[in-house]
Amino acid sequence: MNSPSLLNNPILQRELTSRLRSPKALIAMALVAIVSCTLVLMRWPREATIDLVSQGSIQVFRPVAYAIAIAIMMLTPAFPATAIVSERKKGTLVLMLNSPTPPWVIYIGKLLANVLLSVLLFSVSLPAIFACYAMGGISIAGNVLPLVLIFLGMAFQYSALGLWVSSRSQSIDASLRWTYGILLCLVVLSIGPTVLVGKLSGLKAWIAQAMTTLSPIPALQQITGAQGQSQAIGIGTGWIEFLIMCAVSTLGLALATVYKLHPTMMDRARDAGKVIDPKQSSWLRRLSYLVDPNRRKSGIPFWLNPVMVKEFRTRKFGRLHWLLRLVAGGAIVSILLTVVAATGTVNWGVDRIASSMVLMQIGFLLLLGPSLGANLIASEVESGGWQLMRASPISPWRILSGKLLSTFLTLLLLLMATLPGYVMMSYIQPAIGGQVSNVIISLLIATAMVTILSACVSAYSKTSAAATAASYAVLLFLFAGTLLIWLGRGNPFGPVFVERALLLNPAATALAEMKAPGFETFQLIPNGWYVGLSICAAGLVILILRIARLTRAE
């Protein structure tokens, strides 16, 4: 049987039709169109003064470009990250792999369906982009066309990444968590080696520059005229290098995924367990049973919340070895940044290094927080465990407090792991001791916001996958969206509007306290704390009302 052509690909037609019929896709495209057009209309001249604002059109073009890029980062990986693992859970993947359709046709269908959906996503913003072109100051060949090619490369790369992770995941929420985690490394952490190496030459510098091409940030800065600060620390890659790396990485991920799409490769043997010979059971074995934690768990004390203990003992990131890995990773990175500041490897200063630590901590919170908080209630409702909790003698408030504490304490432990870095910075420059205390308070408020908002999304979701994707979208909109407004400060946003928008973001409060570049003029403390605590209180009230509704007898 001949293989189906590209246009007649049955997988492409099925995936694209089902996703275009989803209300979520239409809502996402409408939001992108509204945001991009609003950014342009706020700066559009009311009279025939286009020549006077031509120099400012690039300042409008910049936030529009970053807004669309953030939308692609948030929305593009979600569908492919669940494409293959959901087929496996429903049992339809085996049918497809044993059908006459070749594995590469299945992969191409799923990849192109998501890429075409991403193209529709950023195509609705083309009127706003060409409106910036009509103002003058930007060109088709130098700005508009490279921007469209960057968006297309991001769509291919992130779609291939999601499919690759989905082919190796066991659950939908784990696939989403790993996909967004790797995406964070590609976009942000890939720039780190170049920052540490700087403008040095040699093999290490070449490897660092090659890793930088994985991130779209230098390419976006080049075509939006904001590459001055990047070149100051040695990040000089352009959009052509980014497109080449997108093509190479997409091809590599595609080959690895197609190799995995084989009936024998998808088989996973079940653990048969250990076979114990009763004759080998001695008095020493019986005695070790009393103290071996792998054979007998200690009872839960009366002063501990049993729901919190249950969460720590059952979820993957609640185990001790995972917590130790997270704490060790955060501590090593924070101390490494402090050593960079102390040795003068990069001519930044303590304030800028502390700002980098703040961004690292917020990145960890946004990566781990939604995956933990989104599963608090939605996973129980999906698996049927919520019915058992309703029938138990545990009160609704005890159930809610136990679940919230299990997530908050995990994130708090990760947050406290970076304290050695702050202590060393306070020792290097004692004048910033008060600033460090205010930064820690802001990060504690950010931790509470991530926990409560993720739990609110989980309480109103029917599945853990939908809750995880929605939690990432809400938190990225809150934290990254306000920074997008900060990016357009002065044009088209005024200083008062920017400051009020930054009050919603505890990360911005911490950055303003450390006098990070671009935040020196903002005074967000203590108003930022009040706004953050108000958001936490409102979310907690909504969550209590929802839990009372879910635990009510039917």
86, 163 Cβ separation under 8 angstroms: no
* Shared domain check, 243 and 315: no
Q: Is 298 inside a domain boundary?
A: no
CB 445 within 8 A of CB 506: yes
Tokens of 536: 């936490």
Query: Residue 2 domain-assigned?
Result: no
d(CA 65, CA 19): 25
Rounded CA gap, 86 and 92, in Å?
Answer: 9
Q: How many residues are listed for the chain in this entry? A: 554
Residue 186 lies in a domain: yes
Which pLDDT score, from 0 to 100, does residue 250 have? 92
Q: Is residue 421 part of a domain?
A: yes
Contact 431, 350 (CB under 8 A): no
Pairwise CA distance, residues 79 & 469, whole Å:
9
Within-domain flag for 276:
no
Distance, in Å, from the CA atom of 77 to the CA atom of 81, rounded to the nearest integer, reads 6
Residue 295: inside a domain: no
Q: Same domain, yes or no, for 217 and 319?
A: no
Helix %, strand %, coil % of the chain (to 5): 75, 0, 25
Q: Measuring CA to CA, which residue among 208, 165, 167, 163 is closest to residue 189?
A: 208
Q: What DSSP string describes 358-423? A: HHHHHHHHHHHHHHHHTTSSHHHHHHTHHHHHHHSS--HHHHHHHHHHHHHHHHHHHHHTTHHHHH
pLDDT at 125: 86
Residue ending a domain, among 218, 244, 266, is 266
> Which amino acid type is present at position 293?
P
H-helix segments, 167-238: 172-187, 192-197, 203-212, 217-223, 228-232
Percent of the chain with pLDDT over 90: 9
Is residue 460 domain-shared with residue 344, that is, in the same domain? yes
Same-domain status, 201 and 349 = no
Same domain, 39 and 147: yes
Domain total in the chain: 2
Q: What pLDDT does 13 receive?
A: 82
- List of the chain residues with pLDDT < 50: 1, 3, 50-53, 228-234, 293, 296, 345-346
Q: What is the pLDDT of residue 197?
A: 54
Domain that holds residue 528: 304-550
* DSSP-based three-state secondary structure for 489: strand
Q: Look at residue 290 and tell me if it is in a domain.
A: no
Examine the fold and report which residue of 266, 281, 316 is the final residue of a domain before the chain moves on. 266
Residues 289-313 have pLDDT tens digits of 555 545 545 567 677 778 888 887 7
Is 370 found in the same domain as 239? no
Residue 55 lies in a domain: yes
> How far is it, in rounded angstroms, from Cα 238 to Cα 150?
11
241 and 371 fall within a common domain: no
Residue 82's pLDDT is 84
Q: Are 311 and 371 in contact (CB under 8 A)?
A: no
Query: Are 360 and 246 members of one domain?
Result: no
251 and 355 assigned to the same domain: no
Q: 453-466: string of b/e by CB count within 10 Å (b at 16+)?
A: bbbbbbbebeebbb
Residues 173 and 314 grouped into a single domain = no
Whole-prediction pTM: 0.74
Do 433 and 355 have their domain in common?
A: yes
Closest C-alpha to 355, from 190, 514, 529: 514
Alpha carbons 158 and 148: distance in angstroms, whole number: 15
Q: Which of 220, 245, 266 is the last residue of a domain?
A: 266
Both 64 and 205 in one domain: the answer is yes
